[in-house]
Amino acid sequence: MNMISRRRFLTLSSGLVVAGCTNSSGGAPSDGAPTTAADPNPASTTTAATTNATTTTMPSAVTTIATPSGLVPDDRVLVMVELAGGNDAINTLAPLVESYRSLRPTLALAESDLITSAMLPGHGLHPSLAPLLPSLEGGRLAVLAGIGFSNPNRSHFVSTDRWMRADRMDQQFGWLGRWLDQLPDDPSALGATALGSNGQMLLGTARYGTVIDGVDSFAYPAGIGNASIRALTEPIADEPLLAAAQRAFLASIGAIEEFDPIADALRARLPEPGADDVTAPRGTFSTGLAVAAQLIISDVGTRVVTVTGGGFDTHSEQLGTHADLLADLAVGLDAFWQVIDEAGMSDRVLLVTHSEFGRRVVENASGGCDHGAGGVTFVMGDNIQPGLHGTIDLTDLLDGDLRPAIDPGNVFTTCLDWLGGDVEAVLGQRSDDLRLLA
């Protein structure tokens, strides 16, 4: 089979792991972004009020608002992009107020550098996000300011877990995995794919996603082909556990077979990185989103894709690191939509970014910001309510943090509505404070 050369395509930066389907026990996830040396204790500044906030925030009563009964096309696709480590919402979407500069004397961005628009009254986007301005003003981008759980926790582990499970800490499975379990038929081998992560969001009781940690590694070593591997897998009916393992193994083989032409298409479409080449993907997000776009347009039955990139745990020297990360994200998102548009599939795709929490309002002594609460989420698609939802309010802080004002349940509800899932069955209740779908 053909394999992608490392000289021809960048690997996802999270590491290289042989192809496989997730089948973990659903315990606590690995840290989305390892704590830096400047942060030996990620929860060291957490107050007593937030330290114990590890249980679900789901009320016991189920709402009476019913999931929309209209039929949803079964070819819609959801892309979830994780900014692991805790993205700084306040520099991502800077409030145009003087207190922003007094609270961040060295980290505040110059107002003249910010990307302003009538779609974002009172705020300006980080200059690295300039490639997103056409999407914003063209009605394809919604910005959710102050998103976060009402009882925030500053632990990477806990907060990431809450996003993966949709804050259902009584559930050990991911919220998209629970949606996969609802499907009447098994998804295709690449129907649910995690790029650069452990796929916990896609982990269900009976179904789970395919994890691609590195594009180059999602293939067999030279000399070993699919037929040789399949020859070793004679059906076993009287050993249920072995048969289940065998089915998972065969699913991995199917995923590799389906991914092979996608890898070839990527290699043909993207130029080889070189010193003067500014078009080739170079970071985790631009690379992962290029793979996600190719999956979607390749007609392999992809319904959900997750893309994970880290580095947002900016306790020190934040300005340069954050600018580079957001630039990679913006370039990746812009290129993603170009591919989707060229394929005529933009009306089928919804994309959402998320991060486990924001960062504290006041900068620290190391040129960074410590773990905070409220964050910012981007929602992109042709069928959304665009523009600013919420605000970065520096006048009403929660223990020095941006106070969460938009419950992530609104995002989970929107995504499941987009996919045609049973919201109550997956989440326990709907959250309709914020209507994002047009």
Alpha carbon distances (Å) from 345 to 173, 189, 293: 30, 21, 10
pLDDT at 260: 82
HSE of 315 in the Cβ direction (CA atoms, 13 Å)? 16
* Separation between Cα atoms, residue 134 and residue 24, nearest integer Å: 41
Listed in sequence order, the residues at least 6 apart from 165 whose beta carbon sits closer than 8 Å to its beta carbon are 171, 172, 173, 174, 175
Reduced to 3 states (helix: H, G, I; strand: E, B; else coil), residue 123 is strand
Whether 289 shows a pLDDT value over 80: the answer reads: yes
Instruction: Over range 96-124, report the average pLDDT.
Output: 98
* Separation between Cα atoms, residue 389 and residue 181, nearest integer Å: 32
Instruction: Over range 94-102, report the average pLDDT.
Output: 97
pLDDT at 23: 35
pLDDT at 232: 57
The number of helix segments (H) and strand segments (E) in the chain equals 12, 13
* Separation between Cα atoms, residue 418 and residue 179, nearest integer Å: 12
pLDDT at 362: 98
* Separation between Cα atoms, residue 39 and residue 240, nearest integer Å: 46
Q: Where are the domains of the chain?
A: 20-25+60-274+284-427
Instruction: Over range 226-232, report the average pLDDT.
Output: 60
The answer to whether the beta carbons of residues 46 and 226 sit under 8 Å apart is no
* Separation between Cα atoms, residue 167 and residue 43, nearest integer Å: 19
Q: Extract the runs of DSSP E, i.e. beta strands, from 116-247.
A: 123-125, 141-147, 192-195, 210-212
The answer to whether the beta carbons of residues 380 and 330 sit under 8 Å apart is no
- Select the more confidently predicted residue: 258 or 108: 108
Ranking 100-114, 174-188, 228-242, 411-425 by mean pLDDT, the lowest is 228-242
Q: Which of 14-23, 184-193, 241-250, 339-348 has the highest mean pLDDT?
A: 339-348
Whether 41 shows a pLDDT value over 50: the answer reads: no
pLDDT at 40: 33
* Separation between Cα atoms, residue 171 and residue 161, nearest integer Å: 10
Distance of CA 414 to the CA centre of its chain: 15
Residues listed for the chain: 438
- Select the more confidently predicted residue: 197 or 57: 197
- Select the more confidently predicted residue: 196 or 282: 196
- Select the more confidently predicted residue: 218 or 268: 268
Whether 193 shows a pLDDT value over 50: the answer reads: yes
- Select the more confidently predicted residue: 411 or 221: 411
Q: How confident is the model at residue 253 (pLDDT cuts 50, 70, 90)?
A: confident
Listed in sequence order, the residues at least 6 apart from 71 whose beta carbon sits closer than 8 Å to its beta carbon are 420
Distance of CA 169 to the CA centre of its chain: 19
pLDDT at 58: 32
The answer to whether the beta carbons of residues 288 and 332 sit under 8 Å apart is yes
Whether 28 shows a pLDDT value over 50: the answer reads: no
Count the Cβ atoms, other than its own, within 10 Å of residue 214: 21
Q: Which neighbouring-strand residues pair with 397?
A: 402
Whether 218 shows a pLDDT value over 60: the answer reads: yes
* Separation between Cα atoms, residue 158 and residue 27, nearest integer Å: 11
* Separation between Cα atoms, residue 243 and residue 249, nearest integer Å: 10
What the block records as the tokens of 349 is: 């795709």
Ranking 9-13, 148-152, 184-188 by mean pLDDT, the lowest is 9-13
* Separation between Cα atoms, residue 318 and residue 156, nearest integer Å: 18
Q: How confident is the model at residue 61 (pLDDT cuts 50, 70, 90)?
A: very low
Whether 235 shows a pLDDT value over 90: the answer reads: no
Q: How confident is the model at residue 317 (pLDDT cuts 50, 70, 90)?
A: very high
* Separation between Cα atoms, residue 26 and residue 336, nearest integer Å: 30
Ranking 29-33, 197-201, 413-417 by mean pLDDT, the lowest is 29-33
Whether 287 shows a pLDDT value over 80: the answer reads: yes
Q: Does domain 20-25+60-274+284-427 correspond to CATH entry 3.40.720?
A: yes
pLDDT at 406: 98
Distance of CA 54 to the CA centre of its chain: 21
> What is the H or E stretch that residue 354 is in?
strand 349-354
Q: Which of 29-33, 187-191, 271-275, 324-328 has the highest mean pLDDT?
A: 324-328
Q: How confident is the model at residue 213 (pLDDT cuts 50, 70, 90)?
A: confident
Mean pLDDT over each residue of the chain, to the nearest integer: 81
Instruction: Over range 45-72, report the average pLDDT.
Output: 37
Q: Tokens 């998102």 appear where?
A: 333
Whether 48 shows a pLDDT value over 60: the answer reads: no
Whether 378 shows a pLDDT value over 50: the answer reads: yes
What backbone phi and psi angles, to 5 degrees, belong to 316?
-145, 155
Whether 221 shows a pLDDT value over 80: the answer reads: no
Alpha carbon distances (Å) from 203 to 27, 195, 211, 342, 414: 11, 14, 11, 32, 20
Whether 113 shows a pLDDT value over 80: the answer reads: yes
Query: Side by side, which strands form the sheet with 192-195?
Result: 20-21, 210-212, 192-195, 304-309, 77-83, 349-354, 375-381, 141-147, 387-390
pLDDT at 254: 77
